[in-house]
Amino acid sequence: MCRRDWPAGARCCRWHASSRWGWPVAPIPKPSWRTCAKGARTLRGDCPGSSSERCCHRPRRSGHGDEAPVQCRVMPEDLVDDAAEAGAPLEAPQQPTLEILRHSAAHLMAAAVVELFPGAQYDVGPPTSDGFFYNFRLPRGATFSEDDLAAIEKRMGQLVERRLPFERSVLGRGEARALFSELDQPFKVDIIDRLGDAVDTVGIYRTGDFVDLCRGPHVPDSGWLGAVRLMRVAGVYWRGDERNEQLQRIYGTAWFTREELDAHLERLAEAERRDHRRLGRELDLFSVSEELGGGLVLWHPNGGLVRSVIEDHWREAHRGGGYDLVFSPHIAQRGLWETSGHVDFFAENMYGPLFIDERPFQLKPMNCPFHILIYKSQARSYRDLPIRFAELGTVYRYERSGVLHGLLRVRGFTQDDAHIFCRPEQIEGEIGRVVDFCLDMFRTFGFADVNIYLSTRPDKAQGSEEDWRRAESVLEGQLRQRDIAYRVDPGAGTFYGPKIDMKVLDALGREWQCATVQFDFTQPENFQLEYTGEEGGRHRPVMVHRALLGSMERFFGVLIEHYAGHFPLWLAPVQCEIVPVQDDVPEVVALAAAVVGRLRDAGLRAAVSDKPGERLPKKIRDAELRRVPYVVAVGRRDVERGDDRVTVRDTRRGGQYELAVSDLAEQLRTEAAEKRAD
């Protein structure tokens, strides 16, 4: 049996005796999804548990039907936790994966931290989707500052040069507990204590003087960890619960080669160049300001123009899709929100009541009660259904100050909301129709790839489990019927029903939550909605809530980043800019004005460059920086030639060519009318 006081380099157990690289290949758990035996014990409770048990926070079924094995998306922390729980360490594969490399990098970082900060206690340190982290507590309440990262990284570099082996051993639970008690590592002791009696042995890894509770596997030695960069430090709650003490987490990224690391850093730089907050300022699209208040947005003329074009398209599509457009006020009597259940279920996101004539009013956090009142404004017959109300409805929700983020997370936003009221037998068709409608709209805006999630019953919910199961199967059925791949996101439904979420993938492959299609059998009940059936009886309609683009604010932010500010022609604030080569030649100025006039007559947004006196290259550069799709130079040469041809510069594709003005107008008109997304 392994002993904790083994001499460096000694083989302390049968695992170690054979612990040379070249072990048989063992399956490596993916960092996100893994199969969980029903009732399996983990540190966060039995599995599968309710959504409050974080172990099973996001389980899914790996196939269809109840008999399919349940898989859990385990929080990154759990990886290490349940790795320890599994007892026997995993054997190393022939070829380490990126996950193994990053997990090893986390160990090495902890080793460096423990050397540089004696008394530091370490919690868990798993790989993540693009790197790794480790959580720490420093003695006497000290904290890391970002300046410490350079020192830690430097020490890691020294450990890399020493090519320290990752030495594995297996200890009995009691032995491991004693070891970590002696090392004054309470987090590890806690993990061991939570393993339960079923677990006899745990894995231990040693790197130099650093010892960690870990299942492994790891790279053979620290020499593999040359391409590592520590990124930032963050505060995190112990075991992810905000009632707990806050630890500090250091994030890093690790790659096999320097080149891969550089490429990763370049991707981050590209994301920064596309940041909608930066482009929003540079392109004068929108602003947020301290004076205005956090989470509130001002749409400037350029952004306002893009928004108008988006909204025009949206209205046109909805009218064509069988929706009726409606409008509703920003505040209403608070009683409406008591009836809807929001006061009970959504309170933490709602602003306080506002008193008018001594009666409480509520700034609206959602649009649904209004559409319900429109439904209730008259007796409805089965012949009227389905009824589809759509509205660009501005709502206000309280968000904690730390989560506000440009246009992507705000406190006041306009949802492109719709509510469908239908007969129970119509629900499947309506859900399917909405799904198709959404995917079609996304394609128009250049999002061909969409990830789809089915969110099921949360802990805090209205309605019977039976209703929920039926509703969930309707949603699932429509997705399957369309052969749409999806994932189940258990416990993530709203309080009134399950939902389908659609997340678009942008040009950088990032996922953004936009559409949500929510089944609701509780609001019709809360508001006592009815329709008269064919046989004259009273029936309760079913409701579907649907946001498509999500909110105008978020969608605009996503669009800006997706296109890096280079909007397709139909969305561009200025579609074509005319640049006079000589400002002081009246014939040239007249020609520029004439070209602008003809483009405008074709329905295009065209303008003359507003930089008189500047040189041509400067004017071109200025238009390029403002992401104007087409720039047309007109000069004395064109006037003298008099053949109505001009030079057109295509700033997105980089081409430059001569074209008759009439052809240019027609070409751009067509491109804009077709709403080409490229």
- What is the rounded distance in angstroms from the CA atom of residue 501 to the CA atom of residue 28? 30
- What is the rounded distance in angstroms from the CA atom of residue 237 to the CA atom of residue 123? 11
Binding range to RNA, per CB under 7 A, among 31-39, 197-205, 355-363, 508-516: 508-516
Q: What is each CA distance from 112 to 9, 25, 104, 150, 153, in whole angstroms?
A: 19, 30, 12, 11, 8
Q: Following DSSP, what letter does each residue of 232-300 receive, concatenated?
A: EEEEEEGGG-TTSPEEEEEEEEEESSHHHHHHHHHHHHHHHHT-HHHHHHHTT-EE--TTT-TT--EE-
- What is the rounded distance in angstroms from the CA atom of residue 157 to the CA atom of residue 599? 61
Indicate which single residue of 79, 106, 228, 288 sits in contact with RNA (rule: CB under 7 A). 288
Q: What is each CA distance from 359 to 337, 351, 355, 356, 363, in whole angstroms?
A: 14, 16, 5, 5, 13
Binding range to RNA, per CB under 7 A, among 167-175, 179-187, 309-317, 608-616: 608-616
Give 67 or 147: the residue with its C-beta nearer to RNA.
147
- Considering the complex, what minimum distance in angstroms separates the CB of residue 236 from RNA? 4
Residue 324 in contact with RNA, rule: CB under 7 A: no
Is residue 417 annotated as part of the catalytic site, yes or no?
Answer: yes
Indicate which single residue of 410, 418, 592, 672 sits in contact with RNA (rule: CB under 7 A). 410
Give 201 or 414: the residue with its C-beta nearer to RNA.
414
Q: What is each CA distance from 72 to 30, 31, 91, 303, 450, in whole angstroms?
A: 11, 11, 23, 42, 22
Residue of 408, 293, 415, 405 whose CA lies nearest to 365: 415
> In which residue are the tokens 């067509």 written?
670
Give 210 or 413: the residue with its C-beta nearer to RNA.
413
Binding range to RNA, per CB under 7 A, among 19-27, 32-40, 98-106, 239-247: 239-247
Contacts with RNA in 334-373 (CB under 7 A)? none
Is residue 499 annotated as part of the catalytic site, yes or no?
Answer: yes
Contacts with RNA in 149-208 (CB under 7 A)? none
Half-sphere exposure of 608 (CA within 13 A, CB side): 19
- Considering the complex, what minimum distance in angstroms separates the CB of residue 466 from RNA? 24
Indicate which single residue of 207, 248, 328, 456 sits in contact with RNA (rule: CB under 7 A). 248
- What is the rounded distance in angstroms from the CA atom of residue 619 to the CA atom of residue 638? 18
Using CB atoms within 10 Å of the CB of residue 674, give its burial: 0 to 12 exposed, 13 to 18 middle, 19+ buried.
Answer: exposed
Residue 391: enclosing H or E segment and its boundaries? strand 387-396
Contacts with RNA in 512-531 (CB under 7 A)? 513-514, 516
3-state secondary structure of 18: coil
Binding range to RNA, per CB under 7 A, among 94-102, 401-409, 439-447, 523-531: 401-409
Give 540 or 621: the residue with its C-beta nearer to RNA.
621
Is residue 545 annotated as part of the catalytic site, yes or no?
Answer: yes
Indicate which single residue of 616, 667, 669, 675 sits in contact with RNA (rule: CB under 7 A). 616
Q: What is each CA distance from 567 to 300, 556, 668, 677, in whole angstroms?
A: 16, 11, 14, 8
- Considering the complex, what minimum distance in angstroms separates the CB of residue 617 from RNA? 4
Binding range to RNA, per CB under 7 A, among 167-175, 192-200, 475-483, 543-551: 543-551
Give 212 or 489: the residue with its C-beta nearer to RNA.
489
Give 107 or 249: the residue with its C-beta nearer to RNA.
249
Give 151 or 236: the residue with its C-beta nearer to RNA.
236
Give 34 or 409: the residue with its C-beta nearer to RNA.
409
Residue of 499, 500, 501, 511 whose CA lies nearest to 447: 511
Burial 141-150 (b: 16+ CB within 10 A, else e): eeebeeebbe
Which residues make Cβ contacts (< 8 Å) with residue 10, sequence separation at least 6?
16
Which residues make Cβ contacts (< 8 Å) with residue 483, sequence separation at least 6?
none
Catalytic residue among 78, 123, 212, 417: 417
- What is the rounded distance in angstroms from the CA atom of residue 548 to the CA atom of residue 603? 28
Catalytic residue among 60, 107, 364, 545: 545
Indicate which single residue of 136, 187, 413, 570 sits in contact with RNA (rule: CB under 7 A). 413
Indicate which single residue of 194, 264, 300, 409 sits in contact with RNA (rule: CB under 7 A). 409
- Considering the complex, what minimum distance in angstroms separates the CB of residue 36 from RNA? 19
Indicate which single residue of 19, 328, 367, 551 sits in contact with RNA (rule: CB under 7 A). 551
Under 8 Å between Cβ of 493 and 462: no
Binding range to RNA, per CB under 7 A, among 36-44, 86-94, 137-145, 440-448: 137-145
Give 78 or 167: the residue with its C-beta nearer to RNA.
78
Give 15 or 144: the residue with its C-beta nearer to RNA.
144
- Considering the complex, what minimum distance in angstroms separates the CB of residue 312 from RNA? 21
Which residues make Cβ contacts (< 8 Å) with residue 107, sequence separation at least 6?
125, 166, 205, 207, 210, 212, 214, 218
Give 538 or 657: the residue with its C-beta nearer to RNA.
657
Binding range to RNA, per CB under 7 A, among 29-37, 58-66, 479-487, 615-623: 615-623
> What are the tokens at 267?
């991707």
Indicate which single residue of 202, 517, 631, 672 sits in contact with RNA (rule: CB under 7 A). 631
Residue 212: enclosing H or E segment and its boundaries? strand 210-213
Indicate which single residue of 625, 660, 666, 676 sits in contact with RNA (rule: CB under 7 A). 625
Q: What is each CA distance from 269 to 263, 265, 625, in whole angstroms?
A: 10, 6, 18
Residue 565 in contact with RNA, rule: CB under 7 A: no
Indicate which single residue of 634, 659, 661, 665 sits in contact with RNA (rule: CB under 7 A). 634
> What are the tokens at 628?
């104007």
Q: What is each CA distance from 80 to 87, 89, 132, 203, 382, in whole angstroms?
A: 11, 11, 12, 11, 56
Q: How many residues bind to RNA according to rule CB under 7 A?
A: 79
- Considering the complex, what minimum distance in angstroms separates the CB of residue 80 from RNA? 15
Peptide bond into 541 cis (omega under 30): no
Is residue 368 annotated as part of the catalytic site, yes or no?
Answer: yes
- What is the rounded distance in angstroms from the CA atom of residue 413 to the CA atom of residue 551? 6
Catalytic residue among 499, 539, 605, 626: 499
Catalytic residue among 73, 188, 419, 627: 419
Residue 235 in contact with RNA, rule: CB under 7 A: yes
Contacts with RNA in 574-593 (CB under 7 A)? 581-585
Contacts with RNA in 54-83 (CB under 7 A)? 75
Contacts with RNA in 426-465 (CB under 7 A)? none
Residue 351: enclosing H or E segment and its boundaries? none
Residue 677 in contact with RNA, rule: CB under 7 A: no
What is the contact mask toward RNA in residues 267 to 286, using x (rule: CB under 7 A)?
Answer: ----------x---x-----
Residue 678 in contact with RNA, rule: CB under 7 A: no
DSSP 59: E
Residue 486 in contact with RNA, rule: CB under 7 A: no
Give the active site residues: 368, 397, 415, 417, 419, 499, 545
